[in-house]
Amino acid sequence: MGELEPTAFVVDGDMQVHRSVRRLMESVRLRVETYTTTQAFFEARDPARPGCLILEVRMRWMSGIDLFHRLRAEGDRIPVIFLTQHGDVPMAVEAMREGAFHFLQKPFNEQYLLDQTHAAIAQDLRRRREEAERRSASARFESLSAREQEILSEVIAGRTNKTMARQFGVTVKTVEFHRSNIMKKVGAENVAELVCLLLRSGWDKRISQVAEHR
């Protein structure tokens, strides 16, 4: 799997934490990388790499909370588990509201940290898979011609082939031809599947715009 292997990224200035977490993760054959500063992690970070970030709150150069905000501002949605002995309830609540995966205090329960790490990585892999499926579906809708997009908007609206033929001034066979092409290009077996793909891809909004501008 190389560089795309899910990884637990640990950012903490305490070398003892590095050794402890590394030993824990490697005990279940989970890839782990450790960083002593937020700057080192930020400069090395590749958003294409899946995994989760185990992050101390109090760090030099840029705090863990600031790093979390910086990553989100740049569109990096890696799940973040804050692991600290300096946190408090208000800080934990705010971090969770802003999308942190979890907020744990030191000393940590090893099995619980391991369980949360696995859960965070599973979430990240699921999100990446869904985004890949969305991009794939969107590309297929993108391949439709302007007329096919118009036909698609009418199909989604429940129009019959005869109605569409009258509307566009073509024969029913021409409408059927376009519908068949749409199904082949998109990879749908029926209208229900077509609608699901449309919603998954985000193209439902664009199809609505096509209908509005006719």
Separation CA 141–CA 122 (nearest Å): 29
Instruction: Give the global pTM.
Output: 0.80
- Asked whether 12 and 56 are in contact (CB, 8 A), the reply is yes
CATH code of the region 143-212: 1.10.10.10
Q: Tokens 């794939």, residue?
A: 136
Helix 89-97 with 64-73: angle, nearest 10 deg: 10
Q: Is 37's pLDDT higher than 70? A: yes
A 10 A CB-CB count for 88 gives 11
CATH 3.40.50.2300 applies to domain 2-132: yes
Domain ranges, ordered by start, for the chain: 2-132, 143-212
In the numeric block, which tokens belong to residue 111?
A: 């099995």
- Asked whether 179 and 150 are in contact (CB, 8 A), the reply is no
Tens of pLDDT, residue by residue over 201-213, are 887 766 655 445 5
Tens of pLDDT, residue by residue over 119-171, are 999 999 999 999 999 999 999 999 999 999 999 999 988 999 999 999 999 99
Q: Is 3's pLDDT higher than 50? A: yes
